[in-house]
Amino acid sequence: MVSRVGEDELGHKLRQKVLRLRLSDEFIQADSVHPTGTVSVEVDQAGQPKYTIARPVAWDYLEWNDSLAALAKEATAVCFGTLAQRTMQNRDLVSAFVANTREDCLAICDINFRRPSLTDKIIEDSLRMCDWLKANEEEAKYIAELIPATLGSPHSHSGSDRILSRLVGAISGNRALCAMSLGASGCIVGTSEATVKLPGIPVQVADTVGAGDAFTAALLTQHLEGKPLDQAARFANAYAAVVASKRSGTPSVTREEVERLL
């Protein structure tokens, strides 16, 4: 995890939480000027979250250094979002990190519609950097409108198939993949060669915070384990459903729970 926190009580608590999740805090920088980032989340009766994200905060001021350059060269995959690029300093850092990775490293972009922090330029630059794109239905529709009509298969169908084709076509390279989460309706994941559509899995929703990130993480780890696209997508779809059935954005989930749901 690459981030930055303030030298304050919340920053200390966040580091402890990261360690409890069995992650390393080695690349979480300390900021003596800006406070630790906070997000206010209001969840409606349908379990849908509304976010109010404080700014400016410590993670707006990530600093490029030799340790991050070394980390980039070791990475098998790097996941970055658009929200983290709301400052020019961070945009330059994300670009530098991706540029310093090995040729076989996967770059995965998760689009976050957090206005006014998101601009079309950030989306376009992120598309140029990534091999995989993760978006929800609203985000995917918007991005598809930004893409020139010449991109994407002319034989694609209407609706989600057409949108997926446009997005895959906008990503350069032969590893292009787009994953579109459809909430309770499931997901659609595709490459230039194959498309997988999966219905939603009925669960008692506790809250949906973190479900999208969980989907991306599960899809990636299954891919790195060598699973074919259909199996990886099925596992990711179920993993996100398990996360949505639990409170908090980072609940404890076992592989056995996911496999039982499948």
Q: Is the pLDDT of residue 156 over 50?
A: no
Q: Are 178 and 156 in contact (CB under 8 A)?
A: no
* pLDDT tens, residue by residue, 211-247: 999 999 999 999 999 999 999 999 999 999 999 999 9
Q: Is the pLDDT of residue 155 over 60?
A: no
In percent, how much of the chain has pLDDT > 90? 71
Band of residue 115 on the pLDDT scale cut at 50, 70, 90: low
Band of residue 154 on the pLDDT scale cut at 50, 70, 90: very low
Which of 43-52, 79-88, 196-205, 210-219 is the least confident region?
A: 43-52
Q: What are the Cα distances from residue 112, in Å, to 76, 123, 224?
A: 23, 10, 24
Q: So what's the pLDDT on residue 171?
A: 92
The structure tokens listed for 203 are 């669960």
Q: So what's the pLDDT on residue 41?
A: 83
* pLDDT tens, residue by residue, 18-35: 999 899 999 999 999 999
Q: So what's the pLDDT on residue 149?
A: 56
Q: So what's the pLDDT on residue 158?
A: 53
Site of tokens 């060598």: 226
Q: Is 113 helix (H, G, I), strand (E, B) or coil?
A: coil
Q: Is the pLDDT of residue 168 over 80?
A: yes
Q: How many whole angstroms separate alpha carbon 115 and alpha carbon 105? A: 30
Average pLDDT, the chain: 91
Q: So what's the pLDDT on residue 62?
A: 97
Q: So what's the pLDDT on residue 108?
A: 97
Q: Where are the alpha helices (DSSP H) in the chain?
A: 9-20, 66-74, 88-99, 120-129, 137-146, 160-170, 211-224, 229-244, 255-261
Q: So what's the pLDDT on residue 250?
A: 86
Q: Is the pLDDT of residue 6 over 70?
A: yes
Sign of torsion over alpha carbons 103, 100, 36, 49: negative
Q: So what's the pLDDT on residue 110?
A: 92
